[in-house]
Amino acid sequence: MEEAYRLEKIQGKNLVHAVAANKETIELFIFSGLSAATKLSGEKFKNIYHFDAKAETIDYLESAFPELVSKTVELQLGMFATNTQRLTPLMPTKVCSPWSVSSLVAH
Amino acid sequence: MPNPIDMPVPFIDPNRDPAIFVKALSSQTLPAPTSQGKVRKYAGYANYTTHREWVDFLNKRFPHEVYFEETSLQDWADKVPIPGVGLELGEMWKYVEEVGYFGGDKGGTRIITEVRTAKTQMGLATDIVTVEVRGGAYKDRRLGQESGLVDSRRIEQILCYLGYSELQLEYEVMAAKGP
């Protein structure tokens, strides 16, 4: 997961650099981000890499290219409902085999 | 799940909703950043949904019984077969519970889906249809669609389906307002 985090930050920086290279013509840069989980949790949760990588991209833009701040908006989208269709264990999981259905106790 | 059953989670339909938020942000003049040197942050979601509502929803549509069980973060993480992913997502769920998906009060994120227009009720004999417009989101109980985002054309389609030909419905995407 650390490697994915590293790659996502590189991709984020590349995006910021692409925007900076075209800052004269770009009207609005909308970046799909997420909140800074490690920072906002007081470092209680330090493994939510897909949140932090995006938040740190915005941090990078603010520090390296302050002239882009007024042209940039971060859009934080809610959780994808489709995750519950594909992503174990978010999707409903079968908890017993067919030959033990009679032993199922509903919670 | 590593959360209480009634914890609300903001959801979107990723195949449809992001474009509506992007359009909302790009089609109007946004307020200038209020914090020096800080990017403006907006949050968009279709609906807050709890685990209980998901279970109820699935039980209405699945032939098998679906139930919810609250577990510890570690037990939940151990169920994810890919090493590391379970801990990351498990911590994410606890973060949503304890801080908030959008970072809570300290996150500095403005919500752009809020109730903007009061309920519009249309009476038709004994048949009452209620459409709630949430700055671009809607809930249409009669159609059974539990969440979603629409533009004015979609509202017209719904009303056409219901047999209404005309409706004066105020509709506004409120990207420029704070929480």
pLDDT digits (tens, 9 = 90+) for B21-64: 787 778 777 788 888 899 999 888 777 888 888 888 778 777 77
Instruction: Give the whole-angstrom CA distance, residue A60 versus residue A77.
Output: 20
Smallest Cβ–Cβ distance between B43 and the set A31, A76, A104 belongs to A76
- Smallest Cα–Cα separation from A70: which of B22, B28, B39, B177? B39
Whether residue B42 lies inside any domain: the answer is yes
Instruction: Please say if the pLDDT value at position B135 is more than 80.
Output: no
Please report, for residues A6, A55, B65, B94, the alpha-carbon distance to residue B139 in angstroms, rounded to integers and kept in the order given: 40, 31, 26, 28
**B73 occurs within a structural domain:** yes
Q: What is the pLDDT of residue B56?
A: 85
The end-to-end CA distance of chain B, in Å, is: 29
Residue A95: the pLDDT is 60
Q: Is residue B99 part of a domain?
A: yes
Burial of A41 (0-12, 13-18, 19+ CB in 10 A): buried
Q: Cβ distance A102 to B89 under 8 Å?
A: no
In a domain, B119, yes or no: no
Q: What are the φ and ψ backbone dihedral angles of B20, each rounded to 5 degrees?
A: -70, -40
Q: In this complex, how many residue pairs, one in chain A and one in chain B, have their CB atoms less than 8 Å apart?
A: 146
Hey, are the CB atoms on A75 and B42 less than 8 Å from each other? yes
Taking the CB of residue B113, how many other CB atoms lie within 10 A of it? 27
By Cβ distance, the residue of A40, A48, A76 closest to B91 is: A48
What's the domain range around B86? Answer: 8-111
Instruction: Name the residue type at position B101.
Output: Y
Q: Which residues of B touch A54 (CB under 8 A)?
A: none
Is B163 contained in some domain? no
Residue of A nearest to B75 (CA): A89
Under 8 Å between Cβ of A59 and A39: no
Specify the number of domains making up chain B: 1
Q: Which residues of A touch B91 (CB under 8 A)?
A: 37, 45-48
For the stretch B59-118, pLDDT in tens is: 877 777 888 899 999 999 988 888 888 999 999 999 999 999 999 888 888 776 532 333
Residues in A closer than 8 angstroms to B65, CB to CB, are 104, 106
Tell me the β-bridge partners of B135.
Answer: B137
- Adjacent-strand bridge partners of B133: B138
Enumerate residues 51 to 70 of chain B having a beta carbon within 8 A of any beta carbon in chain A. Answer: 54, 58, 62, 64-69
Q: Quick check: B5 and B51 in contact, CB under 8 A? A: yes
pLDDT exceeds 70 at position B149: no
Distances in Å between the alpha carbon of B10 and those of A57, B51, B111?
23, 11, 11
Element (H, E) at B155: helix B152-162
Orientation of helix A49-64 relative to helix B85-98, angle to 10°: 70
Which pLDDT tens digit goes with each residue over A83-102? 776 666 666 666 654 443 33
Q: What is the ipTM, given to two decimal places? A: 0.85
Q: Is the peptide bond prior to B2 cis by the omega test (within 30 degrees of 0)?
A: no
Write down the pLDDT at residue B50: 87
Q: Which of residues 64-123 of B touch A (CB under 8 A)?
A: 64-69, 76, 79-81, 84-85, 87-89, 91-92, 94-95, 98-104, 106-107, 109
* Maximum alpha-carbon separation in chain B: 59
